[in-house]
Amino acid sequence: MSDLDTQAITERTLDDYRANAEAFRDGTRDHDVSQNIEALLRHIRGEAPFRILDLGCGPGRDLKTFTALGHVAVGLDGAEPFVRMAREATGCEVLHQQFLALDLPAASFDGIFANAVLFHVPSRELDGVLRKLHSALRPDGVLFTSNPRGDNQEGWSGTRYGAWYDWPTWRQCLEKAGFVELEHYYRPAGLPRDQQPWLASVWRRG
């Protein structure tokens, strides 16, 4: 896979979100991810309010929640319609950046919330992205990730690109980038494993 391919993958995936931004907002507005938000916040040390980066914030549902809880939330997304929607819906600072070209200040966030986003990063780029997130966290800062899981295959799902990891492989990727595991779980809660497509995990900057 060349750099050009990687760029094309990113753009095609973002084009899908750009074209379907309103439908995505309306379809995900009521998704309950409070379990994930709590999992991030309970591991952050020190006194609130915390500075949280919502990576791939989409239209801003979770920025709104973090703000309502009294934290300082900053969004980031590569799809312009989402950047606009998230700013309008929340009044938060929202960075327009792509995951493969992150430009974040060092040691500046207590927590990073990556809900349903990192699986869009082609596997060969994942380590670089994770290392940038690692250095954007304060020394004992916390990263939350949730992704649809799989058997470590990657490719196109319609016009969105994805990589679907199992737990051992995901853990290996995060540990390689310097993170230390805090917890992991499967979602939705309370169902048999074969009905839990989501793998959530929480990490401390090591």
Ligand X SMILES: C[S@@+](CC[C@H](N)C(=O)[O-])C[C@H]1O[C@@H](n2cnc3c(N)ncnc32)[C@H](O)[C@@H]1O
Residues binding ligand X (CB under 6 A): 10, 13-14, 17, 28, 56-58, 61, 77-79, 82, 98-100, 115-117, 120
Residue 145's identity, in one-letter code, is: T
**Is the Cβ of residue 16 or residue 140 nearer to ligand X in the bound state?**
16
Neighbouring residues of 68: CB distance < 8 A, sequence distance ≥ 6: none
The two three-digit tokens of residue 37, written as one number: 């938000």
| Cβ nearer to ligand X, comparing 77 with 110 | 77
* Closest residue to ligand X, based on beta-carbon distance: 78
Query: Cα–Cα distance between 198 and 116 in angstroms, integer?
Result: 9
Of 141 and 162, which CB lies nearer to ligand X in the complex structure?
162
Query: Strand 137-148 and strand 72-77: pairing?
Result: unpaired
**Chain position carrying tokens 């300082």:** 72
Tell me which H or E stretch contains 112. strand 109-115
Give min distance, CB of 116 to ligand X, in A: 4
Give least dist CB 195 to ligand X, A.
Answer: 20
The packing angle between helices 21-28 and 80-90, to 10°, is 50
> Measured from the CB of residue 103, what is the shortest distance to ligand X in angstroms?
12
- Tell me how far, at minimum, the Cβ of 72 lies from ligand X, in Å: 18
Q: Provide, rounded to whole angstroms, the least separation between the CB of residue 139 and ligand X.
A: 25
What's the min distance (Å) between Cβ of 28 and ligand X?
5
Which residue blocks in the chain are alpha helix, DSSP H? 3-19, 21-28, 34-41, 61-68, 80-90, 123-136, 167-176
Nearest CB to ligand X, comparing residues 144 and 203:
144
110 Cβ partners below 8 Å, 6+ apart? 44, 46, 50, 51, 52, 137, 138, 141, 142
User: Closer CB to ligand X, residue 79 or residue 174?
Assistant: 79
- Return the number of the residue (140 or 187) whose C-beta is nearest ligand X: 187
